[in-house]
Structure 1
Amino acid sequence: MNVLFLCTGNSCRSLISEAVFNHLAPAGWHAISAGSQPTGKLNDKALALLASKGISTEGYYSKSWDDLPATPDIVVTVCVCAAGETCPAYLGPVLRTHWGVEDPSHVAGSEDEINAAFEQAYRILRARIEAFLALALDELKGDRVRLKTELDRIGTMQG
């Protein structure tokens, strides 16, 4: 099963999600990330944060949803529509859910405030991914309605 974490720039939140998911996922589950308007560069602070947690980002890069190496089964958007971000709408016969997380790369302030924003985004995304992976995935793969309900519920968790 392929899970696509999608946002606009594919440099920060979707990257963190992809890396954490692949770090924790059982065999047979794989995450990819992409953006509707990729920046073409991964966020240095996101890369440093993941490295500090012992999570590999080797081979990851900022890419367009037009260049996916695999067709996703599940698409998770991580942008924050309420903050005025345009959330990309992935078209295709996939299960879609929304896990909005504030973009830490847009935080202005002291180094400590910026680092805290990255930690908060990481904490929220990791908690949601852990909850996702704690589901009875083999059972839910065959029940898209229940799986979507669970994923939508997880998207409201604050870490």
Structure 2
Amino acid sequence: MAIGKETITNNSVLLEFGPGDKGIIIPSVASAPGVVGGTFVFNTVNKDVEVWEGKNNNNNGGWTSLTDENDGVAHNFSNAGPDVSGSTGVIIGSSNTTKPGALVLESTTRAMVLPQVENPHLSIKGAVAGTMVYDTISDTLAVYNGTNWSYWK
């Protein structure tokens, strides 16, 4: 699936974004029960971008902060309402899933290509907490916590 462009780069891509100084905004949550490895959130309690790693903490899983400077600032977007018990979000790559999430990419052979932006700290105006991109200049994952950009190789 391509968003903001006509086609995907190749058959290994499940979701890809077109050019421009735009990122994706991950969900802002106070808690995320039942998550699986690879889940990204903006934690509104800790005010940082986090990823759930299923193999850390003696294989019990745990959150890893991707924010390396100061607490962030939560944005004032609000959800349309509470989560509906038993419902699923949008699933791409399959007709069903056992994983929770607002957007679940369900594939064992294809992946999402993050929006690619040069120097997001300079080029994305008005970024909000939870914005995520791939920085093509530093060749890193870039996440924004509402105050600072953090970069990960």
TM-score, scaled relative to structure 1: 0.29
TM-score, scaled relative to structure 2: 0.30
